[in-house]
């Protein structure tokens, strides 16, 4: 597909351009929902569509009032804070548990690997509504419903599969001779882990952590069941906003979240490149 | 450890144990060590995730309420032959258990449980409990005087049936069946038959979304896999940015785009395809659910497909062409068969995610765009029929786990990749 070969006939030429047009349309389908609401979040009117003034690019049609709205609203600020508290705590827990488990799973001697892997990845597969219902009963019984601890533990469980997957993938390209070299030089397993293994697999660990963070930061179903008013996270607050009465403030929040995803995407890309570079350097 | 041979001819390790045994021990130690590393997470997942779900599913078969409220009555009922009406002793036992003040809490729960089996039972129980305390022997007449249903064999058969602490009733309800007092399993009355339709709808929507994702993902994955790396990486942003963007954000923007006064309708009116007064209803129905779900799940199809297509050498197509195949045949016979693993992996992933979808149908589905997850939530939070919610969840979970098993057979769980 890279270029049209010189021997291509007219039909093939037509198909070549038609195919590119089709792909362009699919890319538009993928990206337009994300692009469209960004200008709409600067709408001066409380509408969800472009006003004629906006299309004429008149400056008075645009305003930052919906962003001001977020800053003036106690609930939004509180939920932002909650999202970060829960997200960061869940990420730290999920990353440490997941990384250690991945170290075990990637060892050649690991018994029952498929079964254990299946169990460890199940939080990603089980429909969220079932997870939420199950956790709701259990955590209520333990008195953990409507507490930060409950929400953090639930989000940790949901985030660990992503850490396990990314770290095991990174470890599959890891040169085990480095561990042997390190222990033959007399360092303890802990020292080997922190000085040799961790620096080399850090891109995988960090991207796993980012996945875990995004999972928590974006999670709404479990939050609906487990979080009380005090623990409302951003998605939970957005949910209420969309259900009750949708206001353009939601679009402003959405735009901020898109900016956060762009940042995350850029970080992931940098990590991916770094990991490829590291892998290129290490002897295999 | 140096192996030494003693005069019996067995290879031994330095400490004198046979080499084979020493080796086995070393392997076991290594296995143990590998396993120990996974234990913290394994324990965490088992306790905080698997156990709660297991306990929740247990609710679908557990029904201890009636047995707890009427242990003695059920004991006496065992002797009843099921013909006509039970004897005075049974009525007297029930009256005693109903008047017991310590039993008050259990009575309420038993009434709710019986009401699942036979609607109207809760009010019958409440009414009877209130009045029977003042009644005097013979209790049989007293009961029938309060409500003539107490003179029917079916009422007693229902109580006897409900006396078993385990029941498959919730599962029967979840597939639109019910058990009559006689024990026969029959179809629910037609107005109550909603769950099979809902399961079917969920499966059809998931198949539809999966097919739509294949149709949309195939061309762009092909384009990405065959373009030079630089351009492909740039275009990959179109796939990865939606992948990383919050689900709620994307659902919100579909509401903005699709609503009657939304951007798409505005454009259609402006072009002149649609009149201003008959704008298309694209949201709060199945269309909305379908479009938004396809958009949300598309990256999960593109990523595995792209990684498979990238490994297919470009020479294959060129070789086929040089041997005389026209482009269509070369594509169908040479390229497409090699992409089947990617299509399979992506399809199972998308289907699993689609079948359990909750958020998008709840927000943009309206009345007829609801899926099975939404009805589970309804029974969890609104109707409070937890055993039915658990049974519906159990069926859904069984389906998902079967697909997960299939995914493992085809792709291998350890090969799952992200991004």
Q: Which tens digits make up the pLDDT trace of B280-321?
A: 888 888 989 999 999 999 999 999 999 899 989 888 888 888
pLDDT at residue B4 in the model: 52
Query: Between chains, do B413 and A110 touch, taking CB under 8 Å as contact?
Result: no
Q: What is the mean pLDDT of residues B137-151?
A: 84
SS (H, E, C) chain A: CCCCCCCCCHHHHHHHHHHHHHHHHHHHHHHHHHHHHHHHCCECCCCCCCCHHHHCCCHHHECCHHHHHHHHCHHHHHHHHHHHHHHHHHHHHHHHHHHHHHHHHCCCCCCCHHHHHHHHHHHHHCCHHHHHHHHHHHHHHHCCCCCHHHHHHHHHHHHHHHHHHHHHHHHCCCCCHHHHHHHHCCCCHHHHHHHHHHHHHHHHHHHHHHHHHHHHHCCCHHHHHHCCCCCCCHHHHHHHHHHCCCCCHHHHHHHHHHHHHHHHHHHHHHHHHHHHHHHHHCCC
B364 has a pLDDT exceeding 50: yes
If asked whether residues A82 and A213 sit together in one domain, one would say: yes
Query: Is A160 at the interface with chain B, CB within 8 A?
Result: yes
Same domain? For A93 and A160 the reply is yes
Please tell me whether residues A22 and A97 are part of one structural domain: no
Residues of A within 8 A of B35 (CB-CB) are 104, 110-111
Flag whether A283 is in a domain.
no
Q: Is residue A132 part of a domain?
A: yes
Alpha-carbon gap, residue B239 to B237, rounded angstroms = 5
**Residues A90, A217: one domain?**
yes
What's the CA gap between B104 and B108, in Å, rounded? 7
Q: Give this prediction's pTM.
A: 0.87
Residue A3 lies in a domain: no
Kindly identify which residue of chain B lies nearest to residue A95, measuring between CA atoms.
B41
List of chain B residues whose C-beta atoms are within 8 Å of the C-beta of residue A32 = 257
Based on the domain organization, do A107 and A214 belong to the same domain? yes
- Residue A89: the pLDDT is 97
- Neighbouring C-alpha atoms within 13 Å toward the C-beta of B417: 18
pLDDT at position A283? 38
A positions 171-210 inside 8 Å of B (CB): 207
Q: Are A41 and A159 in the same domain?
A: no
A129 with B27: Cβ contact below 8 A:
no
Same domain? A139 vs A49 = no
Report residue B413 as tokens.
Answer: 């769980």
Residues 216-245 of A with CB under 8 A from B: 217-218, 220-221, 225, 235, 238-239, 242-243
Q: Over chain B, what is the mean pLDDT?
A: 87
Domain-wise residue ranges, chain B: 4-61, 65-167, 195-415
- Mean local confidence (pLDDT), B261-266: 85
Determine which of B253, B353, B402, B403 to mutate to test the interface with A (most A C-beta atoms within 10 Å): B253
pLDDT at B365: 86
Segments in chain A below pLDDT 50? 1, 282-284
Look at B397 and A109 and tell me if their CB atoms are within 8 Å: no
Could you tell me if A137 and A229 lie in one domain? yes
Candidate from A42-46, B79-83, B271-275 with smallest mean pLDDT: B79-83
- Whether residue A32 sits in one domain with residue A162: no
Measured in residues, chain A has a length of 284
Q: Which residues of A touch B249 (CB under 8 A)?
A: 34, 37, 238, 254, 257-258
Asked whether residue A68 is domain-assigned, the answer is: no
Nearest CA in chain A to B299: A30
The CATH code of domain B195-415 reads 1.10.3720.10
Contacts of B53 in chain A (CB under 8 A): 126, 130-131, 134
Give A235: exposed, middle or buried? Use CB within 10 Å, 0-12, 13-18, 19+. buried
Contact A134 B53 (CB under 8 A): yes
CB–CB contact B419 A20 (8 Å): no
Distance from CA of A126 to the nearest CA of B (A): 7
Q: Which residue of B has its CA nearest to A121?
A: B413
- Looking at the structure, do residues A78 and A45 belong to the same domain, yes or no? no
In a domain, A213, yes or no: yes
User: What is the reported pLDDT for A282?
Assistant: 45
The pLDDT score that the predictor gives to residue A284 is 33
Structural domain harbouring A43: 10-61
Look up the CATH number of the domain holding residue A93: 1.10.3720.10
- Total tally of structural domains belonging to chain A: 2
pLDDT recorded at residue B40: 95
Does A57 share its domain with A80?
Answer: no
Contact B266 A49 (CB under 8 A): yes
Phi, then psi, of A223 in degrees rounded to 5: -60, -35
Residues sharing a CB contact under 8 Å with residue B83, sequence separation 6 or more, in sequence order: B153
Q: Which residues of B touch A2 (CB under 8 A)?
A: 226-228
Res B56: pLDDT: 93
pLDDT at B417: 66
Q: Are residues A110 and A21 in the same domain?
A: no
Q: What is the per-residue pLDDT for B123? A: 87
The half-sphere exposure of B31 on its side-chain side, counting CA atoms within 13 A, is 9
Q: How far is B177 from chain A (nearest CA, A)?
A: 23
Name which of A54, A134, A235, A242 to mutate to probe chain B: the one with the most chain B Cβ atoms within 10 A of its Cβ: A134
A5 is a domain residue: no
Contact A111 B35 (CB under 8 A): yes
Q: For residue A67, is it within any domain?
A: no
């Amino acid at each position: 597909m890279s270029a049209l070969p010189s021997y291509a006939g007219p039909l093939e030429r037509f198909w070549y351009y038609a195919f590119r047009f089709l792909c362009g349309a699919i890319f538009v389908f993928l990206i337009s929902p994300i692009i469209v609401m960004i200008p709409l979040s600067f709408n001066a009117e409380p509408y969800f569509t472009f006003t004629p003034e906006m299309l004429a690019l008149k400056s008075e049609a645009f305003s930052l009032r919906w962003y001001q709205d977020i800053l003036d609203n106690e609930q939004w600020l509180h939920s932002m804070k909650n999202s970060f508290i829960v997200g960061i705590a869940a990420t730290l827990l999920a990353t440490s548990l997941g990384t250690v488990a991945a170290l075990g799973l990637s060892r050649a001697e690991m018994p029952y690997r498929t079964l254990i892997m299946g169990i460890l990845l199940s939080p990603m597969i089980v429909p969220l509504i079932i997870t939420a219902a199950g956790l709701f009963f259990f955590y209520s019984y333990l008195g953990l419903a409507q507490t930060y601890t409950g929400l953090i533990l639930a989000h940790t469980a949901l985030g660990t599969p992503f850490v396990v997957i990314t770290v095991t993938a990174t470890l599959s390209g890891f040169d085990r001779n480095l561990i042997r070299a390190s222990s033959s030089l007399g360092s303890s397993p802990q020292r080997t882990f922190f000085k040799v293994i961790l620096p080399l697999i850090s891109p995988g660990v960090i991207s796993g952590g980012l996945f875990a963070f995004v999972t928590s930061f974006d999670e709404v179903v479990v939050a609906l069941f487990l979080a009380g008013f005090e623990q409302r996270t951003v998605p939970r607050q957005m949910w209420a906003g969309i259900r009750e009465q949708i206001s353009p403030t939601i679009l402003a929040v959405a735009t901020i979240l898109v900016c956060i995803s762009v940042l995350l995407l850029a970080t992931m890309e940098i990590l991916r490149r770094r990991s490829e570079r590291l892998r290129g350097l290490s002897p295999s | 450890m140096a192996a030494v041979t003693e005069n019996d001819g067995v290879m031994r390790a330095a400490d004198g144990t046979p080499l084979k045994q020493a080796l086995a021990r070393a392997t076991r130690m290594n296995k143990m060590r590998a396993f120990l590393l996974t234990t913290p997470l394994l324990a965490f997942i088992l306790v905080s995730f698997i156990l709660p779900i297991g306990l929740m599913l247990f609710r679908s078969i557990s029904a201890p309420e009636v047995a707890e409220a009427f242990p003695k009555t059920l004991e006496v009922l065992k002797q009843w032959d099921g013909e006509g009406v039970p004897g005075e002793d049974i009525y007297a036992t029930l009256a005693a258990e109903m008047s017991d003040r310590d039993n008050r809490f259990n009575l309420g729960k038993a009434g709710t449980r019986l009401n699942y089996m036979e609607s109207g039972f809760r009010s019958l129980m409440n009414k009877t409990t209130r009045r029977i305390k003042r009644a005097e022997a013979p209790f049989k007449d007293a009961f029938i005087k309060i409500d003539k249903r107490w003179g029917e064999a079916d009422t007693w058969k229902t109580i006897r049936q409900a006396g078993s602490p385990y029941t498959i009733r919730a599962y029967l309800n979840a597939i639109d069946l019910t058990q009559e007092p006689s024990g026969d399993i029959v179809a629910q009355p037609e107005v109550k038959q909603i769950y099979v339709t809902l399961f079917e709808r969920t499966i059809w929507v998931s198949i539809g979304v999966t097919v739509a994702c294949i149709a949309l993902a195939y061309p762009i994955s092909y384009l990405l896999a065959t373009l030079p790396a630089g351009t492909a990486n740039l275009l990959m942003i179109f796939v990865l940015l939606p992948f990383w963007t919050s689900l709620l954000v994307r659902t919100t923007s579909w509401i903005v785009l699709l609503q009657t006064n939304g951007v798409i309708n505005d454009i259609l009116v402006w072009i002149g395809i649609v009149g201003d007064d008959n704008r298309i209803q694209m949201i709060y129905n199945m269309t909305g659910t379908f479009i938004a779900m396809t958009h949300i799940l598309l990256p999960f199809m593109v990523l595995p497909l792209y990684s498979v297509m990238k490994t297919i050498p470009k020479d294959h197509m060129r070789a086929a062409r040089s041997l005389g195949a026209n482009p269509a045949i070369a594509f169908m016979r040479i390229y497409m068969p090699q992409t089947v693993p990617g299509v399979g992996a992506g399809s199972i992933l998308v289907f699993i995610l689609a079948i359990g979808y909750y958020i998008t149908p709840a927000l943009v589905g309206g009345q007829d765009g609801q899926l099975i997850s939404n009805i589970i939530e309804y029974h969890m939070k609104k109707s409070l029929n937890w055993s039915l919610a658990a049974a519906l969840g159990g069926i859904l979970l069984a389906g998902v786990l079967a697909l997960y098993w299939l995914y493992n057979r085809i792709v291998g769980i350890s090969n799952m990749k992200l991004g």
